[in-house]
Structure 1
């Protein structure tokens, strides 16, 4: 008699244990899925707002995208090609390089601007005559390559470095180079500056004293200079940096630079 009731009882207990185990398994799986979802940033019951995941290993493309400068769209511009013998220096004093050097009208661009022309990057290192029909040109090594490019209408973007505006900012100046040779300074018995000091590279600079007085310390591209000299051709917002040799002065060329008072 006892066996008759014992079998159903044991069967019922086993079934209950099975159901309880199945339920616990599903609860554990759901909790794991919720935790995985939370890691993706969809929020929790305590914080229902979406949280962006932290990328501890950003891709190289993402890092490059963040470091890219911001470009301004200038529109569809006419772009021409030009070439030289490769020995003539650009307006900025650099040797032109195919795939890098571009020339621009200084009423639109400034020396040192980065431009995107149909997706290719160039640097404005030369100038275009303001009377030219096009305001932008691309340099090629040979006349044949320049003729092959011809003249096209291209999508053009520009990036210009902005100055650090503040009380120390003096403005944007045209900067050239000079030395103590007779070509730069004429025939002199004593190679002294207007301040009667011996000029030194990476130190002496010439300025218009009505704009920046003699003795003023200024900073250009992180280098500190002292205004110790003047020049007949140095008028208004123009500066002349001293170099030890005429070759270095010529190589520096002509650049547009942001100038700051030294703190």
Structure 2
């Protein structure tokens, strides 16, 4: 009887031990088995796993990752029950920076994250298009413009002032520089804005005078009369420096001989005579009364000649030898009022 009682006690102990062992095993199983959600390719996968970390979970469930894919939480993160694991697939984005444009694969969902992922250092003034907070999607383009501001100095000329005063000792139309002007200098500072090395803005920020300009003083003639060789005072409206020559009515000067048609007839229709001169009507109108120095003679502009152009004047002479000996001379011609 006692023996049966002892056997019964041993059986109870064994049963209790088995129950306890099963309870411990079930508890360990429950602690090791974790229920997680995998979000990938727009799908939710409910999974149970004994994997210790995210990397093991994805490998266990056959989720393949490319080089630029992103996983949250990170691959080395320890798994816990109820955890969500999200896989962000990389997509192509066009990046333009520092004069180069390349296709880049990224899983970043905003421009700011993308720039940080690419280890791009932004300057304080750099421009980003689209803005940092903008979202990214396949086919997006990101452009970064490097903005640089710097100051440059340039040397600038300060123009001198020209002062003109009347002088009745000079003939009207003539000028005389009494004091020559001299330009000054100044140092000018500009602030320049460069975008990708190209100047887009230039602003004056300061200037400093290095040397002051010197004024130029000019006298302008107001004298409107000339004292002739006869001691007469004659008013004139214009004075011209010209080159004078002489001509006759003969063949040597005009190509005509006595008896030829229009021999000795001027362009004005008058007959040539001492005191008649040939001029360029664009310079001296026909019919103008003239006084010529240094010869001190009065003339009238009635004729023209094919060789008389610009500031040229041809004085009629009756004798060919006199005309030839006259040659060419610099003269001053006054157009009388």
TM-score with structure 1 setting the length = 0.36
From the CA coordinates, give the structure whose radius of gyration is larger. Answer: 2
Bigger strand share: 2
TM-score with structure 2 setting the length = 0.28
Bigger helix share: 1
